Amino acid sequence: MSVDVAAIRAQFPIFAAQDRPFHYLDNAATGQICAAAADALLRYETTARANVKRGVYRLADAATTAFAEARAAIAAYLGAAAPDEVLLGCGATFALNLIAHALAPRLAPGDAILVSELEHHSNIVPWQMVAAARGAVVRAIPVTEEGRLDLDRLDEVLGARTRIVAVTHASNVTGAVTDVARLRAAADTVGALLVLDGAQRAPHGPVDVRALGCDAYACSAHKMFGATGAGALWVRGDLLADLPPFLGGGEMIRRVTIERTSYAPPPHRFEAGTPPIGAVLAMGAAARWLAAQDWTALAGHELRLTERLLSGLAREPRVRVIGPTGLQGRLGVVAFAVAGVHAHDVCQMLDDFGVALRGGHHCAQPLMDRFDVAATARASFAPYNDTADVDALLDGLAQTIRKLA
């Protein structure tokens, strides 16, 4: 099934603004903002700006309604049972910190939190922090040579004291998509909660958190073609009702006295202070844009681009792909290392060819350690990418290798 990439690109203002070849392949770091999201942000900030939830005048009431509509759009995109299960904040990192600290009181000394070697630092460091505070331990699911979770070794790290399993839905380095059903079944054997970092998976089509069976799911607006500075955390309704707040301040209260405070119900209990209103409205618009796309066609398009890139990289003897070299159970995220050349040099040279690529450890140092590399270059696809982007990368890489390797 074909995809009209030109029509999609027309909905992203940045492409019309370029005065030289522009092959944007850094979508795993941040996606470009779609016009619908940019318009929502600009409209709020310039013609509809007011604080939400508290004002009773017309402008504030309209902003509050728009904020609620954005929450509903994000909830629908994630497959939530109700909009109030979705907590809105400043990004996926904030969301993962929120759920980690909200779950911390449930941990006792000797309890275990299970992460994996695939994780972004945002899904490791918060759990280390709460583990240190509660006397718990953090263990990691190993990763296979193909860059996937080694679930055949799950019994080595999952134990009776495992209380939380927190893993990525899709790796920001290898592109591997997690077998959530198998992980959910394993977590159920010890009564553990399952938290998914969906920052990489959410931009690739609607998510059904209830079908996944997870207990919490985090995602980020700027990777979903919205504005920077917003993100969402979905939490299963009955669990959310029992969690304590993460931050204190305005809006999250029911009643405050000098002696004590009673808290508002979810989601307000978890949204202290003025939220990133404009960015949330843009995220809602981006969620609606994403939901309207043909993801059957786009998934096939992304895999064709991935196959083209993997085939081209395989022809370069100095290139090592970190992650799956096949197309099963993966997204269009491809990390690679060039023997004898630092990833930063590769990416800087590729910029001369109009190719925007990410180079570094991708906030995944344990995974870099696992594969004994300091850094990789990484290409990542979005709906507006096409074969010209892949070919520009491969042609530029071949010339770069000749010059540097």
Query: Is the bond preceding residue 142 a cis peptide, omega within 30 degrees?
Result: no
Average pLDDT, the chain: 97
Q: At 29, which amino acid appears?
A: A
The token pair that represents 7 in the structure block: 């029509």
The pLDDT, as a whole number, for residue 275 is 96
What span, in angstroms and rounded, lies between the C-alpha atoms of 277 and 224?
A: 17
- pLDDT per residue over 79-91, tens digit each? 999 999 999 999 9
Q: Which residues pair with 331 in a beta bridge?
A: none
Q: Give the pLDDT band (50/70/90) at residue 55.
A: confident
The pLDDT, as a whole number, for residue 2 is 86
Q: Which domains are assigned to the chain?
A: 5-30+294-404 (3.90.1150.10), 38-291 (3.40.640.10)
Q: What is the mean pLDDT of residues 367-384?
A: 98
The pLDDT, as a whole number, for residue 44 is 98
Q: Give the pLDDT band (50/70/90) at residue 405.
A: low
Q: Give the pLDDT band (50/70/90) at residue 404.
A: confident
Strand ranges in 242-397 using DSSP code E only, listed in sequence order: 253-256, 261-263, 319-322, 333-338, 355-356, 358-360, 376-380
Q: What is the mean pLDDT of residues 157-163?
A: 98
Q: What is the mean pLDDT of residues 216-245?
A: 98
Report CA-CA distances (Å) from 16 to 8, 144, 234. 12, 42, 35
Query: In angstroms, how far is the first alpha carbon of the chain from the final one?
Result: 39
Strand ranges in 205-352 using DSSP code E only, listed in sequence order: 216-220, 231-235, 253-256, 261-263, 319-322, 333-338
pLDDT at 63 over 90: yes
Is 347 catalytic? The answer is no
> Which residue among 90, 219, 347, 363 is the active-site one?
363
CB within 8 Å of 258: residues ≥ 6 apart? none
Between these two residues, 199 and 53, which has the higher pLDDT value? 199
Q: At 88, which amino acid appears?
A: L
Write the DSSP symbol of residue 391.
H
The structure tokens 């920001």 sit at 172
Percent of the chain with pLDDT over 90: 97
Q: Give the pLDDT band (50/70/90) at residue 248.
A: very high
pLDDT at 1 over 80: no
Q: What is the mean pLDDT of residues 102-120?
A: 98
Asked if 172 and 142 touch (Cβ cutoff 8 Å), the reply is no
pLDDT at 144 over 90: yes
Q: What is the mean pLDDT of residues 299-309?
A: 98
Report CA-CA distances (Å) from 234 to 73, 123, 130, 237. 13, 15, 20, 9
Q: Give the pLDDT band (50/70/90) at residue 219.
A: very high
The secondary structure of 111-146 as a DSSP string is -EEEEETT--GGGTHHHHHHHHHHT-EEEEE-B-TT
pLDDT at 24 over 70: yes
Q: Give the pLDDT band (50/70/90) at residue 369.
A: very high
Write the DSSP symbol of residue 172.
T
The count of other CB atoms within 10 Å of the CB of residue 232 is 31
Strand ranges in 18-148 using DSSP code E only, listed in sequence order: 23-24, 86-89, 112-116, 137-141
